[in-house]
């Protein structure tokens, strides 16, 4: 079989940049043919000593050959006009991810799509919404261009024109915010500050095949329990709503089994009689307070389950709520929506801010105060008195 030589990482990066530039040039030529409404969703993440700024841009494009004025757009098919894409990644140095720098980088990406200053002004004046969490990006909607502008009539300052996006309204990203609130609320508890760190320690030990086999060989005489540990699959412990509850559903039953079978004196002594495996010591220290850990983890799991219901509602749309809330894979749901709308998604999907403000927040808070299970009550009853 002939040997296949794959391109290097550097060559792939160069090719990616060229493709992004070609897509940008296509957008520049395409902008003259369409009326484009833009909605921005910027976010950044610190990774490997840098800040990575990503911008998702949702657009509605209407052909100028068909629609000659804004009044005619009421007859347009918004599902056909809708498009969403992620623009080029911006790399910021650590400590340089302030509001001005982020706004400047986003504006430079949009200037690539404009052939002149007038085209760029048209782009920024048709940005009608900016959705972000409560981080730095929330101020982009009101950021100034830093260019003074004076009107001819009456020599008055045109304040709106000096804003980067004069028509943009800031919209909070509630999906991100509600899970940040769960994390912040848990970590403010005296017993919850290190919850995720402790769960990660248990998960790390369970994911280590050598330690898991040692534990099974030295501490688990029951073949049925041993088989469960041998078939353990790793999970990701994180505050993100996509992973939190599934990880706790998987890990918490094993913490119960660890508590009843874990014997550190058998695991942490080698043939030379010396203690080894620092991770086992950490897990032993955590399991000493297993009642607190299990009670708090169960409370977080229940709260996360309730917030997941709100998240699924925020991720869907009113017109196809019965599809998005039903059981089944995401691909099957997309097929059902396509059969209904003719497109892969509905343009109203994820646009649930009005429902959340009017009814969703109050309903979610009320459900959080009432959610409980028999298992949680048992966990709480086993806590030592304060």
Whether 165 and 198 share a structural domain: no
Number of independent structural domains in the chain: 2
- Contact status, residue 39 vs residue 58, Cβ threshold 8 Å: yes
């298992």: which residue's tokens? 375
In Å, what is the CA distance from 160 to each residue of 83, 142, 143, 163?
Answer: 28, 9, 11, 5
pTM of the predicted model as reported, rounded to 2 decimal places:
0.70
Please tell me the predicted confidence (pLDDT) of residue 14: 86
Of 123, 156, 172, the residue at which a domain comes to its end is 172
- Contact status, residue 263 vs residue 220, Cβ threshold 8 Å: no
Residue 307 belongs to domain spanning = 180-316+352-381
Please tell me the distance from the alpha carbon of residue 340 to that of residue 326, in angstroms, as a whole number: 15
Whether 191 and 167 share a structural domain: no
Whether 365 and 247 share a structural domain: yes
Reading phi first (left if > 0) and then psi (alpha if -120 to 50, else beta), residue 54 is in beta
Of 172, 201, 236, the residue at which a domain comes to its end is 172
Residues making up the chain, counted from first to last: 386
Please tell me the predicted confidence (pLDDT) of residue 161: 63
Whether 133 and 196 share a structural domain: no
Q: What tokens appear for 34 in the block?
A: 């369409």
Whether 275 and 141 share a structural domain: no
Please tell me the predicted confidence (pLDDT) of residue 274: 43
Whether 247 and 364 share a structural domain: yes
Please tell me the distance from the alpha carbon of residue 65 to that of residue 63, in angstroms, as a whole number: 5
Q: What is the pLDDT of residues 136-162, one digit of tens each?
A: 787 887 777 766 555 555 545 555 566
In Å, what is the CA distance from 87 to each residue of 22, 44, 71, 317?
Answer: 12, 13, 30, 25
Q: Is residue 41 part of a domain?
A: yes
Q: What tokens appear for 367 in the block?
A: 């459900």
Of 142, 172, 202, the residue at which a domain comes to its end is 172
Please tell me the predicted confidence (pLDDT) of residue 265: 72
Please tell me the distance from the alpha carbon of residue 11 to that of residue 218, in angstroms, as a whole number: 51
Helix-strand-coil percent breakdown of the chain, rounded to 5? 55, 15, 30
Q: Which residues of the chain have pLDDT under 70?
A: 1, 92-96, 146-162, 267-277, 386
> How buried is 258 (Cβ within 10 angstroms: 0-12 exposed, 13-18 middle, 19+ buried)?
buried
Q: Is residue 4 part of a domain?
A: no
Please tell me the distance from the alpha carbon of residue 251 to that of residue 245, in angstroms, as a whole number: 10
Please tell me the predicted confidence (pLDDT) of residue 44: 81
């Amino acid at each position: 079989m002939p040997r296949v030589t794959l391109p290097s990482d550097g060559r792939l990066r160069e090719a990616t940049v060229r493709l992004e530039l070609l897509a940008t040039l296509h957008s520049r030529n395409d902008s003259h043919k369409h009326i484009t409404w833009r909605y921005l969703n910027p976010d950044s993440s610190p990774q490997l000593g840098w800040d990575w700024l990503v911008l998702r841009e949702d657009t509605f494009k209407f052909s100028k050959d068909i629609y000659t004025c804004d009044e005619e757009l009421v007859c347009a098919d918004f599902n056909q006009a809708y498009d969403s894409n992620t623009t080029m990644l911006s790399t910021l140095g650590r400590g340089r991810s302030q509001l001005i720098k982020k706004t400047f980088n986003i504006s430079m990406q949009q200037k690539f799509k404009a052939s002149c200053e007038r085209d760029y002004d048209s782009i920024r004046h048709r940005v009608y919404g900016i959705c972000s969490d409560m981080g730095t990006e929330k101020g982009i909607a009101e950021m100034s261009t830093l260019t003074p502008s004076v009107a001819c009539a009456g020599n008055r300052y045109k304040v709106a024109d000096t804003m980067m996006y004069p028509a943009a309204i800031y919209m909070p990203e509630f999906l991100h915010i509600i899970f940040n609130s769960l994390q912040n609320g848990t970590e403010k508890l005296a017993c919850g500050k290190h919850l995720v760190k402790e769960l990660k320690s248990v998960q790390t030990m369970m994911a280590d095949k050598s330690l898991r086999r040692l534990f099974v060989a030295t501490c688990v005489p029951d073949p049925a329990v041993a088989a469960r540990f041998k078939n353990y699959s790793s999970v990701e412990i994180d505050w993100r709503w996509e992973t939190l509850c599934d990880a706790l559903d998987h890990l918490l039953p094993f913490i119960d089994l660890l508590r009843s079978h874990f014997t550190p004196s058998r695991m942490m002594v080698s043939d030379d009689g010396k203690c080894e495996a620092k991770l086992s010591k950490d897990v032993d220290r955590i399991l000493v307070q297993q009642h607190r850990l299990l009670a708090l983890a169960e409370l977080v799991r229940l709260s996360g389950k309730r917030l997941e219901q709100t998240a699924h509602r925020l991720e869907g749309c009113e017109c196809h709520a019965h599809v998005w809330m039903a059981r089944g894979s995401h691909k099957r749901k997309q097929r059902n929506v396509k059969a209904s709308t003719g497109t892969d998604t509905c343009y109203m999907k994820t646009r649930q801010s009005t429902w959340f403000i009017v009814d969703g927040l109050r309903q979610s808070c009320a459900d959080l105060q009432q959610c409980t299970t028999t298992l949680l009550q048992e966990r709480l009853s086993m806590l030592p008195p304060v």
